[in-house]
Chain A
Amino acid sequence: MAGLTGRMSTVVKAKVSKLLDRAEDPAETLDYSYQKQVEQLQNVKKGIADVVTAKKRLQMQESTLKQSVVKLDTQARQALSGGQEDLARQALERKNVAQTELQGLDTQVAELEEQQQKLTDSEQKLRAKIESFRTKKEVIKAQYSAAEAQVRISEAATGVGEQMADVGLAMQRAVDKTENMKARADAVSELEAAGTFDDITALGSGEDDIDRQLKSLSSQSAVDDDLAKMRAEIGAGDGGGAAPAGEIAAPGEPTPSETAVPAEATQAPPTEGGTAGGEAGGQS
């Protein structure tokens, strides 16, 4: 026969059979296996809870980082307004680092979210499988004690045994996955907590050392861009505040009155008011 000779499935099946051959008392083995499955399901549930906790911790770190991005941006703006460009640059460098970390955290949280969903789905499936296994094992046990040495029973027992092995395998994989996810989340979380994070937000202390680290981390050109943008914004803001006339006569768009009234305008009051006042004076 050409079929059923696949190497992969043969290997897997051989292993399952081997596992089952070890079982001496089917009834006992089935009960023990069921008990183990139930325990494992608890482990899966606990694993999911751990993943959720790890995710929440990352989300909290995320929100702290978001706050410091806002804070650093404000600080940079203030520094630049006060003419302290170096300080502004430093704040922006730190903001840059914080933003990069934030992106990394976003990815991690999204991944954890996805894994959590998958694990929850598989936990539900596993629960159904365990329940069905429980029913089947009772059927087998009843048959076994009723007619112990019958060959047909061993065949059915093999079917249940195979399922037993399969549920066990699925369970083990689910537990492994939750452990992996938790370990990864913890690693990220610890890295964040122990890393430069505190230093980033503490502007003004231990600057020399931190500066060197930050400069190597952050992209200088991004900071330059930020700085230029900020300077432009602050520049525009200052212009508006200091010279309200800018609203009436936007630069590059001279009003007709301005062109009509040349150099003498310096002595005269504002153009429109001046014209109105002159007319009124002439009439009286």
Chain B
Amino acid sequence: MIVRISGEDQYRLADSDSARLNELENAVVAIVDGGREDGFADAYDALLDYVRARGERVGDEEIETSDLILPPPDLTFAEAGREFTGEGLIPD
């Protein structure tokens, strides 16, 4: 499975990593939904760090479509909120 961290790189992860990845992502979404800004940065970093640690960077010469695309590492809490309510990083 290929995961892209926007603005960073693509990473190749084992399919078996997807469950944990999903957990971490849902934790971020729950924090954003709950309006808990305090925990946001840590939770988001945990998700990205998991991808970086478990994944192998996809080389520049490879052309791959990602299975997952995560927002950029410097995503702010406010941006995350907008992202999930439709007004996202990439305008519609």
Contacts and interface: CB of A to CB of B under 8 A. Distances in A.
Contacts, number: 97
Contacts of B61: 132, 135
Given A19-B90, A140-B63, A169 B22 contact: no
Given A8-B28, A15-B92, A162 B22 contact: no
Contacts of A135: 60-61
A7 B63 contact: no
A119 to B, nearest CB: 11
A12 interface: yes
Given A4-B67, A15-B89, 14 more contacts: A2-B18, A3-B1, A4-B18, A4-B68, A6-B26, A6-B29, A8-B25, A8-B70, A11-B83, A12-B71, A12-B83, A12-B89, A155-B65, A163-B63
Interface of B: 1, 3-4, 6-7, 15, 18-19, 21-22, 25-26, 28-29, 60-61, 63-72, 74, 80, 83-84, 88-90, 92
12 contacts: A3-B19, A8-B25, A12-B69, A12-B89, A15-B89, A16-B69, A16-B90, A128-B60, A159-B64, A160-B63, A173-B7, A173-B72
A105 to B, nearest CB: 25
Nearest to B28: A8
B63 A169 contact: no
A9 B69 contact: yes
A136 B66 contact: no
Nearest to A16: B69
Contacts of B3: 9
B88 A11 contact: yes
A189 B67 CA distance: 46
Contacts of B84: 7-8, 11
Given A156-B63, A159-B63, A6 B72 contact: no
A135 B60 CA distance: 9
Nearest to B83: A11
Contacts of A155: 65
B88 A169 contact: no
Given A170-B7, A173-B74, A3 B21 contact: yes
B29 A7 contact: yes
Contact of A15 (B65, B80, B90): B90
Contact of B83 (A3, A8, A16, A156): A8
Closest 9 CB pairs of A and B: A3-B18, A6-B25, A170-B7, A159-B63, A132-B60, A15-B90, A9-B68, A12-B69, A159-B65
Nearest to A6: B25
The winner among B3, B29, B69, B89 for most chain A CB atoms within 10 A is B69
Contacts of B80: 8
Contacts of A15: 88-90, 92
Nearest to A168: B90
A166 B7 contact: yes
Given A8-B84, A12-B90, A132-B60, A3 B15 contact: yes
Contacts of B18: 1-4
Contacts of A139: 63
Contacts of B15: 3
Given A159-B63, A166-B4, A169-B72, A7 B25 contact: yes
Interface string A198-238: 00000000000000000000000000000000000000000
Contacts of A162: 4, 65-66, 69
